[in-house]
Amino acid sequence: MTPEAIEKIEVELLLEALRRRFGYDFGHYAPDFLHRRVLDCLSQCRLTHISDIIPRVLHDRLFLEQLISKLTVTTTALFRDPAAYAALIKQVFPMLETYPFFNIWHAGCSTGEEVYSLAILLEEAGLYDRCRIYATDINNAALERAREGVYPSGHLEDFGNNYLQAGGRYQLCNWFHARYDLARFDPQLTRNVLFSNHNLATDGVFAETHLILCRNVLIYFDHTLQNRVLELFHESLDHGGFLILGAQETLRFSSVHDRFLPVNEKERLWRKRHRDPKA
């Protein structure tokens, strides 16, 4: 048996241990992505074999949290893909204005930069006090960073440009205080945000929502898990609710493609049909 084949078995055993002991189900994540992440963890932990990770993760809670952080994606940025936010302002915010109160689910929120981006735009549009934002992720360390709202200040100039392209009305610096090499965003931006752990692979619907953002998450799932998550989003959305995905993600060829209407396919924005065509 080749070393590669042995490594594959070891990865499968590790994932089974995570599922049976802690309920983390990575069985439908993209295999190549998972393999790279596990090998990266192996190198950083200075262990010899992938199977050496299993006893560590079963008996060391801190190590478990570190592993989960390695196996999940935390790549994000303030006002990432600003045209997508501009589409929300133009094509979704006018509909949200018609509700006395609405819920937003930001699934896979990572370290929270995009949650703050959305909160800023809602605040500037006069809509923030009408909403609750559920910001969820599987990675507890990322959620803690999101709650703190403190980020390196090195790219703030680029983020400020993205903010203006997204439709920001003022200057991004109005929303944070910079000190040394860090920027702390106004805590008032999260007064209506609930950060919580939610596993898209195993957990269910927890609220009726009017807008769901899940950007650059589905690309790390296989087709089966993508469909599972999209079914979850469809169930969670109110009739006429909106879904926006990442730049490389689509509803085409999914199990829910005929239950949504395209609003802006270029920016990966869809709207749930008022009536299910299969009903």
Residue 102's nearest CA partner among 207, 199, 244 is 207
Place of tokens 């499968």: 12
| Structural domain ending residue among the three candidates 11, 41, 71 | 71
Phi, psi values for residue 173, rounded to 5°: -65, -15
| Structural domain ending residue among the three candidates 44, 71, 98 | 71
Angstrom distance (rounded) from CA 3 to CA 195 = 41
Choose the most confident range, by mean pLDDT, from 180-184, 189-193, 214-218.
189-193
For residue 9, the enclosing domain spans 3-71
pLDDT: which is higher, 277 or 87: 87
**Segment 86-111 mean pLDDT:** 97
Give the whole-number percent of the chain exceeding pLDDT 70.
97
Environment class of 129 (CB within 10 Å of its CB; exposed 0-12, middle 13-18, buried 19+): exposed
Q: Are 223 and 123 in a shared domain?
A: yes
**Segment 202-222 mean pLDDT:** 93
For residue 23, the model assigns a pLDDT of 81
pLDDT: which is higher, 3 or 147: 147
Is the pLDDT assigned to residue 75 strictly greater than 80?
no
For residue 94, the model assigns a pLDDT of 97
Label residue 279 by pLDDT band (50, 70, 90).
very low
Give the whole-number percent of the chain exceeding pLDDT 90.
67
Q: Are 157 and 205 in a shared domain?
A: yes
Under 8 Å between Cβ of 178 and 156: yes
Environment class of 72 (CB within 10 Å of its CB; exposed 0-12, middle 13-18, buried 19+): buried
Q: Is residue 279 in a domain?
A: no
**Identity (one letter) of the amino acid at 261?**
L
Q: Is residue 252 in a domain?
A: yes
Q: Is residue 217 in a domain?
A: yes
**Identity (one letter) of the amino acid at 210?**
H
Residue 149's nearest CA partner among 103, 112, 203 is 112
**Segment 216-236 mean pLDDT:** 94
Q: Is residue 99 in a domain?
A: yes
